Copies of this chain bind each other. A is one copy, B any other.
């Protein structure tokens, strides 16, 4: 493997000149530049980034902590991260934690041992259970919630949920089921607040029987469906907190002989691509997933570079998408 010294020999200049020719060509004479470039070509030189980064005390890479890469919303956020990182010359280290605290801890070590410069956390912050923000470790939440205790990028989850439930009420629904995440999930809680606000505005009392806790998988959506199907006083609509659960729920309802959307409307959240191809296509909240990724990377980069953050919280706009899963209620 050729190094800078070989190039210097081939070019007949010092290694300092070669180094300068590469990183600050304006400080080198035309003639020297030409010789260096020719020599680089000749010996097939590729700079050793490990050495360069080692000296710069900068890994030029970040870690992405994601609970589950097979979640399409997360995968899309990561694409955005990767896009922004690539533009800025950073590499993205994948940390699929599989919801394991140990694995999360393990990946944290990459930063402590200088293999990475910072962390992008896709799991929303749960006090006690989550990685606590550590002043020495640059960390940004790419899918924040109302109480993220460190810099974050997010949408207004509560507002989005309120908007979607408001719409269901407009369509004539009063008994609206809610398919939430686990009770300690921050996204779920933010969205649940929007649900409750919407009901309250409409003068509809909150009925705990209508709340089912899932875990954002299609399987849990399917389980929830049998709960709703068995109820004596069934909801006429269900607000699911992500598209996967909504899709699982639709499948479960159909299996139970309930027609969707004729007998039960359903809404999702995220607007993954499958939402459009579901039967019926899902009314949902389109999150700017790639943009969340890009913005969170840029925030993290500022942190890494030691800049003062303009804003510790970035709230991006979402879009409410109406499809066929929510027709007007016929009575």
Contact = CB atoms under 8 A, between A and B. Distances in A.
A53 B86 CA distance: 22
A222 B46 CA distance: 46
A91 B72 contact: no
A59 interface: yes
Q: How many copies does the complex hold?
A: 2
Contact of A50 (B59, B103, B106, B218): B59
Contacts of A103: 86
A188 to B, nearest CB: 21
Most buried by B among A48, A50, A109, A218: A50
Contacts of A82: 69, 94-96
Contacts of A79: 69-70, 96
Contacts of A76: 69-70
A94 B251 CA distance: 34
Interface stretch (A122-130, A177-185, A271-279): A271-279
Contacts of A91: 93-94, 110, 115
Contact of A254 (B78, B83, B279): B279
Interface string A44-64: 001111110110010101001
Contacts of A114: 1, 48-51
A75 interface: yes
A247 interface: yes
Interface of A: 1, 46-51, 53-54, 57, 59, 61, 64, 69-70, 72, 75-76, 78-79, 82-83, 86, 91-96, 103, 106, 109-110, 112-115, 218, 222, 247-248, 250-251, 254, 273-274, 276-277, 279
Q: 8 tightest A-B contacts by CB?
A: A49-B113, A54-B54, A92-B94, A50-B54, A46-B112, A49-B115, A251-B277, A50-B114
19 contacts: A46-B109, A46-B113, A47-B113, A48-B113, A48-B114, A49-B114, A50-B54, A50-B59, A61-B93, A70-B79, A75-B75, A78-B94, A82-B96, A86-B106, A91-B93, A91-B110, A93-B93, A218-B273, A247-B274
